[in-house]
Each structure stands twice: as C-alpha cells, then as structure tokens.
Amino acid sequence: MSRRLFLPIIVGFAVMAFGIVLATKFDIYSAIPHFDKILHISGGFIVAWFFARFFQKDLAGVSRFHRFLILVAMAGLVGLIWEFAEFSSSFLAPSHPLLHKYFYGGDLIDTLTDLMADLAGGILYALF
C-alpha cells in the first residue's frame, strides 16, 4: 500500500474505533447531543481525504470544480453504503445483540441527516 494512503486509513480506523466502541461503552451518545453527526462529518472528511490521495494523479488534470464534485460524491457514496449496512444490520439485530449494540440504523430522519453530515464532511475537505 502506498504511504500516502496510510494516514487517512489509520485516522479513519481510529475515528471508527472511538465512535463505535468507546463512545458506546462510555455512553457518549447520550451525553453529547448529535454526537453521531460529528462522526459522520469526520467520516465524510476522511473519505474525501483518502480518495484525494488515492486519485491524486488523476485529479491533477481536473478542474477544481470537478475535483470538488468527485470528492464530495465519493464521501456521499461511502456514506450511502454505510447507511445500507446499518439498515441491513437491523434485520440481524435480534439474533446478534452485540452487532445491534455497536452498529444499528435509526429512522429515516436519522439516515438522511447522517448522509447530509457525510456530504458536509466531504465538502469541508474538498473546499480546503
């Protein structure tokens, strides 16, 4: 694996470990309102960062606007896949309580605001 991809992957896993395991263990979700949205914004940022590095050579010849669209679209795509995974896990929750504890989806409003937060993180990275 290329060295330029290493840092976004490590940061991404650290955010996921903190957000999924530690935040659940110490009940941070209840203590900080909308904490999951902070994680989704971070996730969108990290995904855009990863793909900016992954496609660095390809994006070099692309206009700033198209680079912006590509990075935000990648953050949105990964966020969409994540939300499908959360939704799918709700079918497995009765037979896998540990899965439900750390990885479960909410209602439609939660899903849509999660996707908006993913896009916001991608936009933040793409702008700067």
- Which residues, at least 6 apart from 119, have a Cβ–Cβ distance to it below 8 Å? 44, 72, 75, 76, 79
Please tell me the predicted confidence (pLDDT) of residue 97. 67
Please tell me the predicted confidence (pLDDT) of residue 104. 65
User: pTM to 2 decimals?
Assistant: 0.87
DSSP state, residue 96: -
CA-to-CA dists, residue 119 to 4, 42, 63, 79, 104, angstroms: 23, 10, 20, 8, 20
Which of 110, 118, 97, 116 lies closest to 29, judged by CA?
A: 110
- Which residues, at least 6 apart from 50, have a Cβ–Cβ distance to it below 8 Å? 5, 8, 9, 12
Q: Give the C-alpha separation, 128 to 64, whole Å.
A: 11
pLDDT in tens, 17-76: 888 788 878 888 888 888 889 999 999 999 999 999 999 999 999 999 999 999 999 999
